[in-house]
Structure 1
Amino acid sequence: MDELTQELQAATWAKSSHSGSNGGNCVEVAELSGGRKGVRDSKNPTGPALVFTPGEWDAFVKGVKGGEFD
């Protein structure tokens, strides 16, 4: 098992407080080493995860706040 896989498995994952308990479409985010962020589907926690660099994550957050994805 590679280091990233181990880090993702050991990470503390957080789900938005806006997510309901009805099993809807939710994602979880984890802080990783080097300022990276892991993102996964809360309904499939053992499935694949996306990993973003600090710059990628900042661009995404700015886009969300700016309404880029509405």
Structure 2
Amino acid sequence: MLETTRLILMQWEAKNMAPFAAKNADPDVMRFFPVQLLREESESLTASSEMELMNEIEVESYASLESRS
């Protein structure tokens, strides 16, 4: 895990899916993206992106969180 005063970068875990999907479905968060995503679309995105990344550059996927400190 890497942590700064404003950000926490940690290995992706299944518990990260709910907040990730909620952000992808939020109109304010997604206002500069073409579409909002349903939960199933977020799950598909993480599954395909994680597999592509791991296969191409052999690294683990990470989740970023806003630090509350």
Same fold (TM over 0.5): no
Higher normalized contact order (CA 8 Å, seq sep 6+, divided by chain length): 2
Give the structure-1-normalised TM-score: 0.31
Higher strand share goes to which structure? Answer: 1
Which structure dedicates a bigger proportion of its chain to helix? 2
